[in-house]
């Protein structure tokens, strides 16, 4: 049974709509943990559009499960990660104009820079995960970078609209999970996972953790955060 990491970025997105104090992502993290989240995920973007430096510092002090910092390999952000020491860092590609993370890291193309960031973070006791598309060549290169964890991008599985295409994407994720596990990597998955499409991913043998944000925070607007997290925990764990 996979674990659930709840991404709380969009609690901060709502706060930033007024640039005041509410809702507080630190309070949200606590509620998520109490409702059964196994880790808290937050993305410190270079443009600080939602989570900011103070949030990350406060999360480090208050998160009782595990803090997974999503981040780019930007030098300033790596420096912040080293000083804050999250339990885990998930390296993602980041483009200023994108609405959310588009596609996985191209580990082949940026191998040297990624390897350097992996080394720096690991030297400081931070486990490193690479967010990549379910493609053999990328997984192989991720292993060569020294990272011990990968997160398979499930965005395409979410976006395709026909049953046949969904089945194809699901099979790709299943096959690539097995391939990565055989290489000795820990495999997580995430992006675009919702209440209706998570069960099939959670059933894939060998996936360690699912990282889910937008759907849980959206559902929380109507049912409350604790109920929204509990409902996702039920889907994943039963």
Active-site residue set: 43, 70, 191
Residue 86: φ, ψ to 5°: -65, 165
157-186 footprint of ligand PXP as x/- string (CB under 6 A)? ------------------------------
Q: How far is the CB of 175 from ligand PXP (least distance, A)?
A: 20
* Structural contact between residues 213 and 225, judged by C-beta atoms closer than 8 angstroms: no
What is the spatial distance between Cα 180 and Cα 205, in angstroms, rounded to a whole number? Answer: 12
Comparing CB distances to ligand PXP, the nearer of 31 and 149 is 149
Stretch near ligand PXP under the rule CB under 6 A, chosen from 22-30, 75-83, 108-116, 205-213: 205-213
Q: Does 214 contact ligand PXP by CB under 6 A? A: yes
Q: Does 138 contact ligand PXP by CB under 6 A? A: no
Question: Of 19-58, which residues contact ligand PXP (CB under 6 A)?
Answer: 43
Residue 220: φ, ψ to 5°: -60, -30
* Structural contact between residues 145 and 115, judged by C-beta atoms closer than 8 angstroms: yes
* Structural contact between residues 186 and 148, judged by C-beta atoms closer than 8 angstroms: yes
Q: Report the run of H or E that residue 171 belongs to, with start and end.
A: helix 163-182
68-107 footprint of ligand PXP as x/- string (CB under 6 A)? --x-------------------x-x-------xx------
Strands (E), 72-213: 88-91, 127-132, 149-153, 186-190, 207-212
Contact residues for ligand PXP (CB under 6 A)?
Answer: 7, 9, 43, 70, 90, 92, 100-101, 131, 151, 190-193, 211-215
């Amino acid at each position: 049974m996979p674990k659930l990491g709840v991404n709380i970025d969009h609690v901060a997105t709502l706060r930033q709509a007024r640039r005041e104090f509410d809702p507080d992502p630190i309070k949200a993290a606590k509620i998520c943990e109490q409702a059964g989240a196994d880790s808290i995920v937050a993305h410190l973007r270079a443009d600080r559009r939602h989570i900011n430096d103070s949030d990350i510092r406060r999360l480090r002090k208050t998160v009782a499960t595990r803090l997974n910092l999503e981040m780019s390999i930007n030098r300033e952000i790596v420096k912040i990660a080293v000083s804050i020491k999250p339990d885990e860092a998930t390296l993602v590609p980041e483009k200023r104009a994108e609405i959310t993370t588009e596609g996985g890291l191209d580990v082949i193309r940026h191998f040297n820079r990624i390897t350097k960031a992996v080394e720096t973070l690991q030297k400081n006791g931070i486990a490193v995960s690479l967010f990549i598309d379910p493609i053999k060549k990328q997984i192989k290169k991720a292993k060569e970078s020294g990272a011990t964890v990968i997160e398979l991008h499930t965005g395409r599985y979410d976006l395709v609209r026909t049953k046949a295409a969904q089945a194809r994407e699901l099979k790709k994720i299943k096959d690539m999970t097995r391939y990565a596990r055989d290489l000795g990597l820990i495999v997580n998955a995430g992006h675009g996972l919702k209440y209706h499409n998570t069960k099939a991913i959670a059933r894939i043998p060998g996936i360690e953790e699912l990282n889910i944000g937008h759907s849980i925070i959206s559902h929380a607007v109507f049912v409350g955060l604790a109920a929204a997290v509990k409902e996702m925990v039920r889907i994943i764990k039963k």
